[in-house]
Amino acid sequence: MSEILVLVEHVDGDVKKVTLELLTLARSLGTPAAVWAGPGYSDAAKAKLAEHGADKIYVADAEEIIGYVVAPKAELLAKLVADKAPAGVLIAATAEGKEVAGRLAVKTDSGVITDAVGLGEGFVADQSIFGGGVNVRSRVTKGTPIVAVRPNSIAPVAAAGAGAEEKVEVALSDAARAARIVERVKQEKGARPELTEAAIVVSGGRGVGSGDNFAIIEKLADSLGAAVGASRAATDAGWYPHQFQVGQTGKTVSPQLYIASGISGAIQHRAGMQTSKTIVVINKDAEAPIFEIADYGVVGDLFQVVPQLTDEIEKRK
Amino acid sequence: MNIVVCVKQVPDTATERKLRSDDKTLDREAADGVVNELDEYAVEEALKLKEAHGGEVTVLTMGPGKATETIRKVLAMGADKAVHLSDDALHGSDALSTSYAMAQALKKIGFDLVVLGSESTDARTGVLAAMLAERLGVPQLTLANKVEVNGSAIAVQRLTDYGYDKVEASLPAVVSVVEKINEPRYPSFKGIMAAKKKPVETLGVADAEISADQVGLANAWSEVVDFAVAPPRAAGTVVKDEGDGGAKIAEFLASKKFV
Ligand SMILES: Cc1cc2nc3c(=O)[nH]c(=O)nc-3n(C[C@H](O)[C@H](O)[C@H](O)COP(=O)(O)OP(=O)(O)OC[C@H]3O[C@@H](n4cnc5c(N)ncnc54)[C@H](O)[C@@H]3O)c2cc1C
Ligand SMILES: Nc1ncnc2c1ncn2[C@@H]1O[C@H](COP(=O)(O)O)[C@@H](O)[C@H]1O
């Protein structure tokens, strides 16, 4: 069976969950080959990739690869596409992942599909468009299929792979070195799971009323081991940092459970969360459009309902 | 500075959007066309840069004849002139062909800086800026929430999952901006009147030296196999809080094994 390249997402040397999901998907279509780009590769990373079916691991751990915006990763993948002739390339559909996919598509003269929520035989991808109104199946018709898959589209399943390592050197072109990253500013993330990867997301909107009040959203999140999200109204007001914004111009999340408090459910917010499996809503306005997509909704004051919910969850533990 | 801002006309997100049953492309006739909201931030940033550094702002739009409405609005906001890339041969172009066609047009127009929005609200691919940088061989400074130009040097803050990166490069370059970067201006009455006299050049594929066999539905790199209107989510349960709303949700979560 032919190889399927999976670009590994990693933070501080740790392989992210979405990569395990992509390896799981790749196994149903061919032989997964993980591609590690940038420093931080370790035995622990290798073990995790192999446990999830990576038959090969291409390791390009030169510091340089993360010193410039996007282009080096695309160059690395293009080289592997040329050398290994894989059946396809899977990349996480994060903002940066999609950009890598886009540049790779141009370099390899291949089609690209972004934001797939499923992938089947023949690399036919499922997509959910127009804020969830239409389901589309699409596929690449020229070149090597490049598919950016949304985190949480499938559950990762372990299955041992050989994990054979192969070092890869890339001589970056001048064009790939054109946009230099001179500083990385990390804003505090805390101990909560990452927003796009979390099984449960608890979000607050304008109804929360202030940055301080977000503490009640955080408490609920912590009782469930969830990530915290926010509507644009809340991030624009400075109540919560921008990287927690859910929606069209924020993160797209697809958790098992999404709890929205004080969020009206504008189309731009829904675009980022409507593929959540279960949706729970707390809003004092019974007419709020978010109720249309709720599996369970309470019309009420979030300052009453949310703390009570947190207490009830703690009691049940 | 010669700035080109790429603006797309999209169906209003507030209206029902559809795919055409005949060729499975977006039905642009069914919905009102509006300026892609996220491109208004690109226009604002382009105008600010022009105000600070001088030069000219050209709007580039690829789309059907109807897209002239979008061009007029951007000219009314203050752009100096427009190029409308429009040709029946372009209908149904995917991201690969759109980026190719736009890159050809940009080479013809000439630029120091190309500014885009972060995403179009209809296609939502968010790849065009990266593809243009690749095709044009210029630095990619995308997802910026701050842009500074100093002579031929450009620096941006690129939003990331963990915060932001400070990125530096030299012009010419491609930039995309996020909606946190500024507050787009409204066209003034004077602006609207002035826009009527601003030059709009229409380019067809031949004018922009675009090979017709690289664009349009028949030559796309990807295809829609089929599509269906999503079945509505099964109606959920909505209850009024009678002082036990939190407890009721906890019960629901327990029934679903979340707690
Ligand atoms: C180009 C563009 C991009 C956008 N991108 C995004 C995006 O990525 N993400 C996003 O979220 N939005 C986005 N928006 C904004 C979007 O249109 C809405 O304005 C936004 O989602 C509203 O946030 P909200 O629901 O928190 O606020 P509101 O719409 O003001 O809703 C607040 C809700 O809280 C309820 N409420 C108030 N007090 C209480 C209380 N005590 N208890 C219970 N309920 C209460 C109210 O009934 C109301 O329904 C975008 C808009 C544009 C134009
Ligand atoms: N047809 C088009 N004409 C002009 N600009 C476009 C067009 N399509 C996309 N763009 C630009 O590319 C950005 C990203 O679009 P997309 O990759 O389609 O999500 C948009 O915000 C626009 O600035």
Q: What is the pLDDT of residues B157-172, one digit of tens each?
A: 999 988 899 999 999 9
- pLDDT for residue B199: 97
Give A233-250 pLDDT, tens digit per residue. 999 999 998 889 999 888
Percentage above 70 pLDDT, chain A? 99
- A32 strand-pairing partners: A4
CATH of the domain at B182: 3.40.50.620
Q: Where are the domains of chain A?
A: 3-167, 200-315
| Shortest alpha-carbon distance between residue A195 and chain B (Å) | 9
- pLDDT for residue A130: 81
- pLDDT for residue A26: 97
pLDDT reading at B200 higher than 90: yes
Mutate to test the interface with B, among A115, A180, A217 (most CBs of B within 10 A): A180
Mean pLDDT over residues A271-296, rounded? 95
- pLDDT for residue A1: 64
Percentage above 90 pLDDT, chain A? 89
Give the predicted TM-score (pTM) of the model.
Answer: 0.93
Q: Decide if the complex's ipTM is over 0.90.
A: yes
pLDDT reading at A189 higher than 70: no
- pLDDT for residue B235: 83
**Is A42 an 8 Å CB contact of chain B?**
no
> Mean pLDDT across chain A, nearest whole number?
95
pLDDT category at B51 given cuts 50, 70, 90 is: very high
**Is the CATH code 3.40.50.620 the one for domain A3-167?**
yes
Instruction: State which amino acid sits at residue B68.
Output: T
- pLDDT for residue B19: 86
Instruction: Name the packing angle between helices B128-136 and A71-84 (round to 10°).
Output: 80
Matching CATH topology for A3-167 and A200-315?
yes
User: Minimal Cα distance from A9: which residue of B?
Assistant: B161
Specify if B231 maps to a domain. Answer: no
The domain total for chain B is: 1
> Mean pLDDT across chain B, nearest whole number?
94
Mean pLDDT over residues A77-97, rounded? 97
Mean pLDDT over residues A135-160, rounded? 95
| Shortest alpha-carbon distance between residue B197 and chain A (Å) | 34
Per the structure, the complete domain to which residue B190 belongs is given by: 2-219
**Is the CATH code 3.40.50.1220 the one for domain A200-315?**
yes
Specify if B19 maps to a domain. Answer: yes
**Residue with CA at minimum distance from ligand 1 atom 38:** A207
B87 lines ligand 2 (CB under 6 A): no
Instruction: State which amino acid sits at residue B91.
Output: H
